[in-house]
Chain A
Amino acid sequence: DADVTQTPRNRITKTGKRIMLECSQTKGHDRMYWYRQDPGLGLRLIYYSFDVKDINKGEISDGYSVSRQAQAKFSLSLESAIPNQTALYFCATTTGSADTQYFGPGTRLTVL
């Protein structure tokens, strides 16, 4: 089984809809991140969390919110989706001593 899972893997929704992307990890890591990837822009940080009570905004948090329900679960919500939120979304985890982040498989979101 994958260590970092994301659901759904693909989603098509309409402008104005609320949508939640979920991330779960079995690696026991305390730090979790949400990124979005757009063509030509690389990965940009939306939100990150270092434990259940710690939530921090990244560089592009407007229009997004997150919830850290447990150490293993970190959800990203789009309260009212808009077409320019169409992107590939990645969840990632790590620890303070790790040499890398571990990425989920990504969620491809299309907002019509």
Chain B
Amino acid sequence: AQKITQTQPGMFVQEKEAVTLDCTYDTSDQSYGLFWYKQPSSGEMIFLIYQGSYDEQNATEGRYSLNFQKARKSANLVISASQLGDSAMYFCAMRERTSGTYKYIFGTGTRLKVLA
């Protein structure tokens, strides 16, 4: 079974509008972390936002917020006021403790295109 599922291979959003990128996860751990990364066409992986499983409030970083719904095991990324520079691949990832070590598991990504 997929540990991290991103069901939207591609998304379009109009400039200045908000967009939500979906991510669901599967773990039996009580303590885990959830991450979002941005990968522009240049290829580098840029860390955007982190949510710990015990954090009661949704994480926010500037125009990025993480809509964390623990019972539903979802960790959606919300980008407000989209900009042309937001066009990129976005990856959801989870850090979980497996066999006494921490591992990071990535989703397959969502390609976001911001339209002028």
Contacts and interface: CB of A to CB of B under 8 A. Distances in A.
Q: By DSSP majority rule, is chain A's interface helix, strand, loop, or mixed?
A: strand
A90 B91 contact: no
B33 A101 contact: no
Contacts of A45: 103-104
Interface stretch (A21-29, A36-44, A60-68, A71-79): A36-44
A106 to B, nearest CB: 5
Interface in A27-54: 31, 33, 35, 40-45, 48, 50
A105 B43 contact: yes
A56 interface: yes
A90 B109 CA distance: 16
B68 interface: no
Nearest to A9: B43
Contacts of A31: 102
Contact of A43 (B43, B91, B101): B91
B102 A96 contact: yes
Given A41-B108, A106-B44, A108-B43, A100 B103 contact: no
B81 interface: no
A1 interface: no
B45 interface: yes
Nearest to A41: B108
A43 B95 CA distance: 13
A100 B35 contact: yes
Given A40-B9, A100-B50, A105-B44, 18 more contacts: A31-B102, A35-B106, A40-B108, A41-B108, A42-B4, A44-B106, A45-B104, A48-B101, A48-B103, A50-B101, A90-B45, A99-B52, A103-B44, A103-B47, A105-B43, A106-B43, A106-B44, A106-B45
22 contacts: A31-B102, A41-B108, A42-B106, A42-B107, A42-B108, A43-B93, A43-B106, A44-B106, A45-B103, A48-B101, A48-B103, A50-B101, A90-B45, A99-B52, A100-B35, A100-B47, A100-B50, A101-B47, A101-B104, A103-B37, A105-B43, A108-B43
